Amino acid sequence: MRLRRAVRQCVLVSSHRIEIRGLPSLPEIREGDDLPAIILEACREVSFAPEEGDIFVVTQKIVSKAEGQVVDLRDVTPSSLAAGFARSADKDPRVVEVVLREASRIVKMDQGILITETRHGFVCANSGVDASNVGSRDTVTILPRDPDASARRLREELEAKTGHQLAVILSDTFGRPWREGVTNIAIGVSGMRALVDYRGSVDPQGRSLATTVVAVADELASAAELVMGKLDHTPVAVIRGYPFQPGDDGAKPLLRARERDLFR
Amino acid sequence: MRLRRAVRQCVLVSSHRIEIRGLPSLPEIREGDDLPAIILEACREVSFAPEEGDIFVVTQKIVSKAEGQVVDLRDVTPSSLAAGFARSADKDPRVVEVVLREASRIVKMDQGILITETRHGFVCANSGVDASNVGSRDTVTILPRDPDASARRLREELEAKTGHQLAVILSDTFGRPWREGVTNIAIGVSGMRALVDYRGSVDPQGRSLATTVVAVADELASAAELVMGKLDHTPVAVIRGYPFQPGDDGAKPLLRARERDLFR
């Protein structure tokens, strides 16, 4: 009887109950810092022991800082394109110049808004260049060179140090058309499939499901943001209880191919 | 000592720890069903007692069913526009006809994809018309007439029955440009502010935050989807520990005004 109840609870926990915990005690990250060690130290400080199947969601900002993906604006000379847009949009022309350098294509450059496609294939505001919380008024962070590789390195080191199979999501907050406000999404993924595909599944009436592919990595990143906040230093969250599908295609499957996209 | 521990746990829960629980045992919902009573019965079945500050995320589908927002396709005569698109896209012309009737504007109608603006102002595929999990092959659900009002009614009845201050989010899964896969978002909100606005806040270097307005209602809906799944009947999730800002502007603040939107 007790065993049966234990089994039932276990099933409940794995499929119908998720816990998200923020790690608030990380120090300011600098180039070359050992991020996996720092994250595990932050776990210890709140008496949190990682378990098999935990998902670590890490904000892009601290990964960029650890990897030295930081630009000193004093070294940047704005082009006349950057200077013109900066003037019309009341922005720092050096920041606009960095945004243009990080772009592979301009999607929209209008009404003070600069939406680009980055060389990774992300479509976002300002190529993911971020001037807040960087540590100096004259520096900005740029996105990691290869966010999936960053996620993979983090995962492998966290797995080696904990002995558990884990997943890692690198996140950033992106805007979207049609809706106000940003949401946190996945820019790098390792250890799990970013999309869950229900195609081929049918409902009880035998009709195929209309909503067939769910971007669970983006949903996990959004869930993590709820404990991260913006003003307190909580750049890492751990999600426990979500039964992810193992995989290592990274965040690439989340990018819609241009020929399948009606909005670029 | 016990009190201090209780207070400390409470602080942890409210700021850096969130729990999400799915309610898997809901029956098939029919028009006129007492949804608040059914939801609380499902809570009791998993020995879950709602608490002050809990957020109930409820999928649009069961709200539409309870409100009778269901269309019998045998009563629908497709227009020639609907019939033509259905032929080119290999869809049921009667469903396309319902989609067009639910639209206030066509955003894109190309490559088998039909993106509309609904009369509520949502931009989404197929006007939110859904043919899966409806109970009959000849019926589809349409979105609630006024999702904020539906959320408010649900919240008020849940609050009256539990004696707690709560929030309610009505959710649906929407696609987005540029990225593959759908995510769960908020179409109706009551009891909380849908956006959290950091404008005016500054980082430790005195720079204003780049990411200033976060669509937390959408992030909460996405978080809830992680315990809902698509194949099992888990149309309600409860999120505990997220310190929402009370408010009652509904989901309207999430809709980007057309003049502020570069993509319609």
| Domain spans in chain A, listed from the N-terminal domain onward | 19-69+144-255, 70-139
Token pair 């019965």 in the structure block, residue: B41
Q: Rounded distance, CA B69 to CA B71, Å?
A: 7
Interchain contact B112–A (C-beta under 8 A): no
**Residues of A in Cβ contact (< 8 Å) with B181:** 194-195, 213-216, 218, 253-254
The helix/strand/coil state of B87 is helix
Token pair 């009563």 in the structure block, residue: B75
Q: Kindly indicate the confidence band of residue B13, based on its pLDDT and cuts at 50, 70 and 90.
A: very low
- Please give the pLDDT value at position A8: 37
**Do A254 and B180 make contact, defined as CB atoms within 8 angstroms?**
yes
**Do A211 and B218 make contact, defined as CB atoms within 8 angstroms?**
no
What's the CATH number for A19-69+144-255?
3.30.1330.100
Average pLDDT, chain B: 89
- Please give the pLDDT value at position A12: 35
> Which chain B residue lies closest to A24 (C-alpha atoms)?
B16
Neighbour-count burial of B43, counting CB atoms closer than 10 A to its CB (0-12 exposed, 13-18 middle, 19+ buried): buried
Please give, rounded to a whole number of angstroms, the shortest distance from the CA of B210 to a CA of chain A.
6
Looking at the partner chain, which of A22, A207, A231 has a beta carbon nearest the beta carbon of B16? Answer: A22
Interface of A with B in 33-92 (CB under 8 A): 46
User: For chain A, which ranges sit under pLDDT 50?
Assistant: 1-14
**pLDDT tens, residue by residue, B50-91:** 999 999 999 999 999 999 999 999 999 999 999 999 999 999
**Do A262 and B234 make contact, defined as CB atoms within 8 angstroms?**
no
What predicted TM-score, i.e. pTM, was given to this entire model? 0.92
- Please give the pLDDT value at position A7: 38
Interchain contact B108–A (C-beta under 8 A): yes
Q: Rounded distance, CA A163 to CA A165, Å?
A: 7
Query: Yes or no: is domain B70-140 CATH 1.20.810.10?
Result: no
Q: Rounded distance, CA B236 to CA A13, Å?
A: 16
Q: How many CB pairs under 8 A join A and B?
A: 245
Query: In this structure, are residues A103 and A109 in contact, taking their beta carbons and an 8 Å threshold?
Result: no
Q: Rounded distance, CA A220 to CA A185, Å?
A: 8
Q: Rounded distance, CA A215 to CA A197, Å?
A: 9
**pLDDT tens, residue by residue, A210-242:** 558 999 999 999 999 999 976 567 999 999 999
> Which chain B residue lies closest to A257 (C-alpha atoms)?
B178
Largest CA distance in chain A: 75
Q: Does the pLDDT value for residue B116 go beyond 80? A: yes
**Do A195 and B181 make contact, defined as CB atoms within 8 angstroms?**
yes
- Please give the pLDDT value at position A206: 65
Q: Rounded distance, CA A60 to CA A170, Å?
A: 6
Interface of A with B in 225-244 (CB under 8 A): 225-227, 230-231, 234, 242
Please give, rounded to a whole number of angstroms, the shortest distance from the CA of A73 to a CA of chain B.
15
Q: Rounded distance, CA A113 to CA A97, Å?
A: 14
The helix/strand/coil state of B224 is helix
Q: Kindly indicate the confidence band of residue B1, based on its pLDDT and cuts at 50, 70 and 90.
A: very low
Query: In this structure, are residues A81 and A70 in contact, taking their beta carbons and an 8 Å threshold?
Result: no
Regarding the domain with residue range B18-69+144-256, which homologous superfamily does it belong to in the CATH classification? CofE-like (3.30.1330.100)
The one-letter amino acid code at A41 reads E
Q: Rounded distance, CA B116 to CA A1, Å?
A: 54
Q: Does the pLDDT value for residue B230 go beyond 80? A: no
The helix/strand/coil state of B20 is strand
Q: Does the pLDDT value for residue B6 go beyond 50? A: no
| CATH class as words, domain A70-139 | alpha beta
**ipTM exceeds 0.85, yes or no:** yes
**Residues of A in Cβ contact (< 8 Å) with B46:** 12, 16
**Beta bridge mates, A182:** B214
Query: In this structure, are residues B175 and B157 in contact, taking their beta carbons and an 8 Å threshold?
Result: no
Residue B261, number of CB atoms within 10 A of its CB:
14
Please give, rounded to a whole number of angstroms, the shortest distance from the CA of A20 to a CA of chain B.
5
Helices and strands of chain A, counted as H and E runs: 7, 12
- Please give the pLDDT value at position A72: 95
Interchain contact B208–A (C-beta under 8 A): yes
Interchain contact B205–A (C-beta under 8 A): yes
Interchain contact A185–B (C-beta under 8 A): yes
Contacts 24+ apart (CB under 8 A), B25-34: B25/B233, B26/B62, B26/B233, B26/B234, B26/B235, B26/B236, B28/B135, B28/B233, B29/B62, B29/B65, B29/B66, B29/B235, B30/B65, B30/B66, B31/B65, B31/B66, B31/B67, B31/B68, B31/B70, B32/B66, B32/B68, B33/B65, B33/B66
**Residues of A in Cβ contact (< 8 Å) with B230:** 198, 201, 209, 211, 214
Proportion of chain B above pLDDT 90, given as a percent: 77
Which of B13, B115, B179, B242 is the best mutation test for A, with the most CBs of A within 10 A?
B179
Rg, C-alpha atoms of chain B: 20
Tokens for B15, please give them.
Answer: 């700021």
Token pair 């772009």 in the structure block, residue: A103
Q: Rounded distance, CA A41 to CA A46, Å?
A: 9
**Residues of A in Cβ contact (< 8 Å) with B115:** 262
**pLDDT tens, residue by residue, B163-217:** 999 999 999 999 999 999 999 999 999 999 999 988 767 666 666 665 589 999 9
- Please give the pLDDT value at position A210: 55
Q: Rounded distance, CA A95 to CA A84, Å?
A: 13
Interface of B with A in 121-150 (CB under 8 A): 123, 126, 130-137
Closest CA to A246 of A52, A59, A12: A52
Largest CA distance in chain B: 74
